[in-house]
């Protein structure tokens, strides 16, 4: 392309745009075949001393990254060739007067009535059109395999290229389903970041070449990056929802098991940190780290956090540590770019989940304490009596006779010297939350005694004037339980 004879020949043909365009189309067709040949050769056998790209087929992110990098290098090489071809040849007496380089060559006398002459961007698009189709096929093959690997890829050859035989994917998923699902989810997201980065790089290169305007024909490589990004973002969103849907099946009671909130927080942290490290979500990209298009919304941090919090809230609560894990994930997401408004909104939701879990735990432990201290039976009988419409005295209700109440309170008073209120050491990891749970449990136990004491000493008690068996008033019990 740099030979002066070829460049001067094109200068001569500028006065006949039809012949000039035909010559350029022949050159572009030859370059298209050569670029496609090099890409296919690089995939299977290696090119220019480099190892085959498919050597990394076991690592989907590296495999896609290598293919996109090779395609972009080919794009830049072809761009320089086109720029050289359409620039004035050295010593060309006609070139000095143009002063426009490649753009002046694209504007000639339309003597042949052939319409607008072929521009540098159009010729570059034709040169890259042969590479774009196999590139898109392989990228989407990888994404589809990652998105459907929970049931095994539909194409056994794809499974072989992505690592392992066609029969071992299902076994690997059964062994570590949570980890493998999260790995595949993070891999799809990383591929989306690569597609964003190289799509932006192609756009910048086209703008410098003068082919980024709306009036120019769309470049095949940029179209491929945009189309693959859209499809990959949809696959990521579907995989994220599927990951959230199976969180409720996790069992923290099993050895090494994790709750749904733990798995959700791991997904938030993994994807958010991957987003922060990916060049495809840098703020200096055109449109910033996030855009208004559908793919950008699906790849945004609010979509990730919102989907995982919705899934975690639908899981059976395993304890207050669920909220602590989600708060930690929110902090990571905030450092990775989650907006303050979104952080505040999601933090309120997590606090609500933690509060309800803490209340449920305190209520359950208070019932256990009442049962172990002797008040479990009489408190149950008291609730039945207070909710009945009979209106009789408390002492006449089954389970609340004077002897039964006296025996229950005697056992309860003896336990106050060493209150069996749990410390939650093995249940809650946060010390402050453990203290809060213990305090709430003690208050619930003291509140249950206060209700019994008030009803027994009230007008409807029916225990007579001698209430000496009620040896401690509620304030004393509250003080002893809070020690």
Helical pair 431-456 and 402-415, crossing angle rounded to 10 deg: 150
Residue 293 confidence (pLDDT) above 90: no
User: What average pLDDT does range 45-57 have in this prediction?
Assistant: 86
What CA–CA distance (Å, rounded) separates 98 from 59? 51
Cα 336 to chain center, whole Å?
12
- Give dist(CA 320, CA 252) in Å, integer: 13
Instruction: Answer with the residue of higher pLDDT: 392 or 225.
Output: 225
pLDDT in tens, 431-460: 888 888 899 999 999 999 999 999 998 888
Q: CA angle 189-133-56, nearest 5°?
A: 50
pLDDT in tens, 322-344: 888 899 999 999 999 899 999 99
Please list, residue by residue across 306-316, b when 16 or more beta carbons sit within 10 angstroms of its beta carbon and e when fewer do.
ebbbebbbebe
Q: Which of 132-136, 148-152, 156-160, 248-252 is the least confident region?
A: 156-160
Cα–Cα distance between 413 and 403 in angstroms, integer?
A: 15
User: What number of other Cβ atoms are within 10 A of residue 132's Cβ?
Assistant: 24
Per-residue confidence (pLDDT) for residue 154, from 0 to 100: 38
Give the span between the Cα atoms of 469 and 409, in whole angstroms.
Answer: 8
Whole-angstrom distance, CA of residue 74 vs CA of residue 127 = 10
- 186-228 tens-digit pLDDT: 999 999 999 999 999 998 888 887 655 444 568 899 999 999 9
Q: How confident is the model at residue 137 (pLDDT cuts 50, 70, 90)?
A: very high
Considering only 160-164, 252-256, 276-280, which range has the smallest mean pLDDT? 160-164
Q: pTM of this prediction?
A: 0.76
By the 10 Å C-beta count (0-12 exposed, 13-18 middle, 19+ buried), 165 is classed as exposed
Q: Are 113 and 209 in contact (CB under 8 A)?
A: no
Q: What is the mean pLDDT of residues 2-11?
A: 62
Query: What number is the average pLDDT over the span 150-166?
Result: 38
pLDDT of residue 212: 52
**Overall average pLDDT of the 253-270 stretch:** 78
Which residues lie closer than 8 Å to 130 by C-beta, 6 or more apart? 32, 33, 35, 36
319: pLDDT confidence band, cut at 50, 70 and 90?
confident
Asked which of 24-28, 66-70, 415-419 is least confident by mean pLDDT, the reply is 24-28
What's residue 161's pLDDT?
39
Backbone angles phi, psi at 408, to 5 degrees: -65, -45
pLDDT digits (tens, 9 = 90+) for 346-358: 999 998 888 888 8
412, 374 in Cβ contact below 8 A?
yes
Least confident of 52-66, 306-320, 366-380, 433-447: 306-320
Of 430, 434, 410, nearest in space to 422 by CA: 434
Q: Percentage of the chain surpassing pLDDT 90?
A: 37
In angstroms, the Cα distances linking 31 to 34, 92, 112, 216 are 5, 25, 26, 20
d(CA 197, CA 213) in angstroms, rounded, equals 20
Least confident of 109-113, 369-373, 416-420: 109-113
Report the percent of the chain where pLDDT is more than 70.
Answer: 78
Residue-level pLDDT at 180:
86
Q: How many CB atoms lie within 10 A of CB 16?
A: 17
- Least trusted range by pLDDT, from 48-57, 75-84, 116-125, 138-147: 116-125
Residue 321's contacts (CB-CB under 8 Å, 6 or more residues apart) are 259, 261, 427, 428, 429, 430
- pLDDT score of 216: 55
pLDDT of residue 237: 95
Q: Name 118's Cβ contacts closer than 8 Å, sequence gap at least 6.
A: 20, 21, 24, 25, 106
Query: What is the rounded CA–CA span in Å between residue 384 and residue 300?
Result: 53
Q: Residue 321 — pLDDT band, cuts 50, 70, 90?
A: confident
CA distance 145 to 159: 7
Contacts 24+ apart (CB under 8 A), 261-264: 261/312, 261/315, 261/317, 261/318, 261/321, 261/322, 261/323, 261/325, 261/326, 261/353, 262/322, 262/325, 263/178, 263/182, 264/308, 264/309, 264/311, 264/312, 264/326, 264/329
Query: What's the confidence (pLDDT) of residue 170?
Result: 42
**In the predicted structure, residue 109 carries a pLDDT above the cut 50:** no
**CB-based contacts of 171, cutoff 8 Å, min separation 6:** none
Block residue for tokens 């106050």: 416
Query: Token pair for residue 351?
Result: 């606090």
Return the pLDDT at 110: 44
Distance between CA 381 and CA 366 in Å, rounded?
A: 16
């Amino acid at each position: 392309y740099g030979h002066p004879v070829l460049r001067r020949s094109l200068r001569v043909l500028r006065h006949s745009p039809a012949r000039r365009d035909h010559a350029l189309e022949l050159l572009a067709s030859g370059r298209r075949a050569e670029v496609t040949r090099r890409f296919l050769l690089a995939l299977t056998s290696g090119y220019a001393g480099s190892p085959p790209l498919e050597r990394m087929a076991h690592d989907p992110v590296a495999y896609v990254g290598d293919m996109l990098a090779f395609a972009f290098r080919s794009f830049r090489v072809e761009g320089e060739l086109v720029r050289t071809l359409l620039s004035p040849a050295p010593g060309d007496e006609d070139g000095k007067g143009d002063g426009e380089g490649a753009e002046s060559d694209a504007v000639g006398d339309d003597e042949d009535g052939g319409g607008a002459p072929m521009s540098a961007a159009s010729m570059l698009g034709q040169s890259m059109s042969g590479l774009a189709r196999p590139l898109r096929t392989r990228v989407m093959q990888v994404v589809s395999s990652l998105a459907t690997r929970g049931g095994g890829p539909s194409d056994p050859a794809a499974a072989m290229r992505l690592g392992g035989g066609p029969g071992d994917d299902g076994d690997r998923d059964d062994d570590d389903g949570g980890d493998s699902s999260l790995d595949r989810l993070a891999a799809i997201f990383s591929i989306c970041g690569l597609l964003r980065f190289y799509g932006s790089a192609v756009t910048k290169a086209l703008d410098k070449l003068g082919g980024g305007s709306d009036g120019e024909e769309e470049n095949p490589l940029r179209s491929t990056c945009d189309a693959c990004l859209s499809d990959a973002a949809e696959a990521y969103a579907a995989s994220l929802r599927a990951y959230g849907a199976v969180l409720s099946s996790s069992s923290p009671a099993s050895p090494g098991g994790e709750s749904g909130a733990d798995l959700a927080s791991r997904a938030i942290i993994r994807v958010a940190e991957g987003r922060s490290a990916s060049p495809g979500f840098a703020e200096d990209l055109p449109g910033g780290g996030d855009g208004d298009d559908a793919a950008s919304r699906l790849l945004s941090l609010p979509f990730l956090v919102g989907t995982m919090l919705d899934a975690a809230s639908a899981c059976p609560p395993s304890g207050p540590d669920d909220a602590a894990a989600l708060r930690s994930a929110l902090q990571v997401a905030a450092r990775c770019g989650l907006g303050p408004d979104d952080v505040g909104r999601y933090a309120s939701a997590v606090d609500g989940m933690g509060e309800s879990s803490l209340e449920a735990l305190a209520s359950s432990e208070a019932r256990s304490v009442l049962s172990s201290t002797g008040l479990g039976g009489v408190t149950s009988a008291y609730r039945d009596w207070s909710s009945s419409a009979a209106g009789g005295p408390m002492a006449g209700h089954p389970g609340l006779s004077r002897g039964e109440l006296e025996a229950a309170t005697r056992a309860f008073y003896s336990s106050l010297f060493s209150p069996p209120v749990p410390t939650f050491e093995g249940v809650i990891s946060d010390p402050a939350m453990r203290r809060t749970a213990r305090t709430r449990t003690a208050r619930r136990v003291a509140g249950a005694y206060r209700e019994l004491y008030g009803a027994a000493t009230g007008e409807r008690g029916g225990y007579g004037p001698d209430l000496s068996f009620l040896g401690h008033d509620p304030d004393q019990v509250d003080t002893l339980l809070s020690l």
